[in-house]
Amino acid sequence: MFDLRRLRLLSHFASLGTVSAVAKSAQLTPSAVSQQLATLEKEIGMPLLERKGRQLTLTEAGRVLVSSAERIFAEVERAKTELAHLRDGVEGVVQLASFPSVSRLVVPQALAFCVNKKRPVEIGLHEMEAHESLPALRRGEIDLALIDEYDPLPALVEPGTEFTPLFSEQMCLVLPTKHPLARPALPMTAYAAEPWLTCQVGTLCHAAMVSTCVDAGFTPEIAYMSNDFTVMLAMIEAGLGIGFVPAITIAQSRYDVRCLVLAERPLRRRISVAVRSAARSRPTLRRLINAFTAVTANLDDTIRLGTTVAGPADGGRGTVLHH
């Protein structure tokens, strides 16, 4: 009998290609990963990895084992579900990772959707960004993760994880209403000397915002960082800087700000729900994924696509101007 945690490391190696990449993905040291894989080889009684020049690759036995891994993981997940039914008569609480701008709108509506279908789902909600939730999902600490990605960055690829797209939206450049640069048709370089607000270092949002500025020819001077976009809007309204904010947050908030949709270097955010491939067949997870899909499909187009936002006549919300 071999250890499933070690089998997962081998499966990650097949997808990622290097021990260092597996270590980063699993939040382990490379030496720890190497030791775990060596122990797995002893459990199997056959070599699973071999060197070809400077590259470490799977042996034939390693490829055979990896090809069976997803079926093994799926059977374990099914066994857990059936045992939970026998023990409690229910599947238990779904552990969901999300983040504020989506939690406020999508999560309550999805749960209400399940209740209306007379099949309620109980969740444990964890506030996490994608760089935190995906490793937690992989480790089995959570069951579903709402994920944000950004167009300038490569799409996320995680071994053993499936992503269901939900919606995409415009990231608007937001400035105080009376800011002298709060007008359309200006190049991105016009904002190079401004103090900027971004999400925290390490998040995909931070990387996307900085990348957009660098691609325009300047490195932004970051004055403040927050992962809560409503905090960003309040600070921008107070004149403390400028920054990119998603359309869904602007539409739900009431701040006296000016929002620009940049044609020169458009920045978009994509929201999806991630689940372990082996766990996707769980009825409760399927219901919740279907609920997320249903409620986001019904989002108003102005929010979902980020093409416009109500103007000052609507209680002082931001006005969107298109470059």
User: Domain residue spans in the chain?
Assistant: 4-87, 89-167+270-300, 168-268+305-322
pLDDT digits (tens, 9 = 90+) for 40-69: 999 889 999 998 888 899 999 998 898 888
Q: Is 136 exposed, middle or buried (0-12, 13-18, 19+ CB in 10 A)?
A: middle
| pLDDT top residue among 280 and 318 | 280
Structural tokens at position 163 = 């992503």
Average pLDDT for 117-141:
84
C-beta of residue 8 within 8 angstroms of C-beta of residue 70: no
Radius of gyration of the chain from its Cα atoms, rounded to whole angstroms: 23
C-beta of residue 25 within 8 angstroms of C-beta of residue 135: yes
pLDDT at 282 over 90: no
Instruction: Return the sign of the alpha-carbon dihedral for residues 216, 221, 227, 231.
Output: negative
Structural tokens at position 178 = 């009376």
In angstroms, the CA 27 to CA 161 distance is 17
Closest CA to 223 of 236, 241, 205: 241
Report the CATH superfamily, name and number, of domain 168-268+305-322. Answer: Periplasmic binding protein-like II (3.40.190.10)
Residue 246 φ then ψ, to 5°: -70, 150
Structural tokens at position 14 = 């097949």
Closest CA to 137 of 23, 111, 129: 129
pLDDT at 140 over 70: yes
* Beta-ladder partners of 50: 57
Q: Is 304 helix (H, G, I), strand (E, B) or coil?
A: helix
Q: What is the CATH number of domain 4-87?
A: 1.10.10.10
What pLDDT is attached to residue 262? 82
C-beta of residue 188 within 8 angstroms of C-beta of residue 181: no
C-beta of residue 108 within 8 angstroms of C-beta of residue 117: no
For residue 125, what is the enclosing H or E element? strand 123-127
In angstroms, the CA 53 to CA 50 distance is 10
Structural tokens at position 239 = 């004149």
272-292 residues labelled b (16+ CB within 10 A) or e (exposed): bbbbbebbbebebbebbbebb
Lowest mean pLDDT segment, chosen from 43-47, 90-94, 193-197: 90-94
Q: Tell me the pLDDT band of 115, cut-offs 50, 70 and 90.
A: confident
Q: Tell me the pLDDT band of 230, cut-offs 50, 70 and 90.
A: very high
Half-sphere exposure of 250 (CA within 13 A, CB side): 35
Is 89-167+270-300 in CATH node 3.40.190.10? Answer: yes
pTM attached to this predicted model: 0.74
Could you check whether 4-87 and 89-167+270-300 share the same CATH topology?
A: no
In angstroms, the CA 251 to CA 266 distance is 18
Q: What are the start-end ranges of the H helices in the chain? A: 4-16, 19-26, 30-44, 60-88, 100-103, 106-116, 130-138, 204-216, 229-237, 247-252, 283-297, 301-304
